[in-house]
Chains A and B, each alone.
Chain A
């Protein structure tokens, strides 16, 4: 428990440290990256629920960010561990609900449900990878400033900002609590099930207390709900080229299935 929490906190720190780098993708303006990532997500989720072949080509987008921005794949894996199980179980229900045969592969019937479940997991993988690429190449302050420019409600921006800032503090508190618990429970390897509820309750109370103190601190410095966050460069030449080319390629990728095209050309 302790190691997992510490690892999660370290990964969050890594995400922020990665955002401070200065590669080509890091130097693009947040606006260009946000718009392109949004276009990427829309393109990915707009595919038919059984269409797998057209999805693969979209892996190029996060791969480009990961390679050019030198982002370790381990960070993507950490976030996928959180997101994939949920999608996996949703995919399982799809298998159970739709058992019509789609094809026979090696004598094994593949149902539409399996296909749908697989498509769902690929979509999850791609969208998480896209958002990870964005977060690992953009500082949270710049991201929030740009969201403000895009007229995202201030309350949502502050939620994002404070979540990002305090999730690590919360993880540290959770780790301290679990350490204190384990030090007084020499026979236990982990937190016993009956005590989990009590510890989670305590953590919630602590979180509430901290949230209240932070809000008080904000009010003491004149916060009244309307956030002010300074100015930011929205688009430069490099970012404009990236934005135009990126959106164009995503549009083409959505219209043309390159794996099918390649198959036709080979035949």
Chain B
């Protein structure tokens, strides 16, 4: 469904952030992307989301090649949840923010309302519909940011540090939402317990390379490998 072949990418100053990445995802598959700071997780995610361009190699979503001429079409099919929901939730009310994307796609207002209400109910935040966004807690903002992406009905969603800024309760709520989501998704995170809970598969990055790709429990429990990737075996696997 989603495929990246020999993908490399460099910053304008020449620093190579991604080196020869090969990966593919099946429909409805959820994979964790882990690695130390500077390993290239966020850059890879931004490239997959179409935010960064100009990579070497080939990226495809359901047969559609990543290229400037396909960019607008790809944006309709891809969702990206930012690390800081304050960067993503910018409209004055929850309703307006969730509706932002589908209004940009030119949907009729009646259709917009129907979809916004449905997605807010799906995430159990229907009561926040008319709330001003500045009154939301961190967890609520995270849910609204996710609603703003889900309402566009993307085929694949990329999450950049989805549990950053969340307390225990907010994190739990996010996990419950993710368990029922059933979408193709990649979660870039430092939270290895989250990966174990949500993703049967994990990809480990270090120095811009994909060091391992396979069953999460198996890979994350290898102490020597984890140390080499500047990570630690999660507490639940020790």
Q: Which residues of A contact B (CB under 8 A)?
A: 13, 16, 20, 139-141, 144, 161-162, 164-166, 168-169, 210, 213-214, 216-224, 228-231
Contact = CB atoms under 8 A, between A and B. Distances in A.
B103 interface: yes
A83 B212 CA distance: 60
Nearest to B71: A219
Interface of B: 49-51, 72, 75-76, 78-80, 82, 84, 86-88, 90-93, 96, 99-101, 103-106, 109, 112, 132-134, 148-149, 152
Q: Report, nearest first, the 8 A-B pairs whose CB atoms are least far apart.
A: A221-B101, A222-B104, A228-B103, A213-B87, A141-B92, A217-B88, A140-B92, A220-B80
A139 B94 CA distance: 13
B32 to A, nearest CB: 21
Contacts of A228: 103-104, 106
Contacts of A165: 90-92, 133-134
Given A165-B133, A222-B101, A228-B104, A210 B92 contact: no
B49 A220 contact: yes
Given A13-B134, A222-B75, 18 more contacts: A139-B93, A141-B91, A144-B92, A161-B90, A161-B92, A165-B92, A165-B133, A165-B134, A213-B82, A217-B82, A217-B88, A220-B51, A220-B79, A221-B100, A221-B101, A223-B104, A228-B103, A230-B99
A220 B71 CA distance: 10
A165 B93 CA distance: 10
A216 B51 contact: yes
A95 to B, nearest CB: 43
Given A165-B134, A220-B75, A230 B104 contact: no
Contacts of A220: 49-51, 75, 78-80
A230 B80 contact: no
Contacts of B149: 221
A165 B132 CA distance: 10
A84 to B, nearest CB: 27
Contact of B90 (A16, A20, A162): A162
B48 to A, nearest CB: 12
A97 B179 CA distance: 73
A190 to B, nearest CB: 28
A223 B76 CA distance: 11
Contact of A214 (B72, B90, B101, B148): B90
A219 B101 CA distance: 9
A16 B134 contact: yes
A30 B154 CA distance: 35
Contacts of B49: 220
Nearest to B78: A220
Nearest to A158: B90
Contacts of A164: 92
Nearest to A13: B134
Nearest to B116: A230
Given A139-B92, A219-B75, A228-B106, A210 B87 contact: yes
Nearest to B158: A220
A230 B134 contact: no
Nearest to A216: B51
B27 to A, nearest CB: 21
Given A141-B96, A161-B92, A165-B134, A230 B86 contact: no
Nearest to B99: A230
Instruction: Tell me which of A20, A162, A217, A231 has the highest count of chain B C-beta atoms within 10 A of its own C-beta.
Output: A217
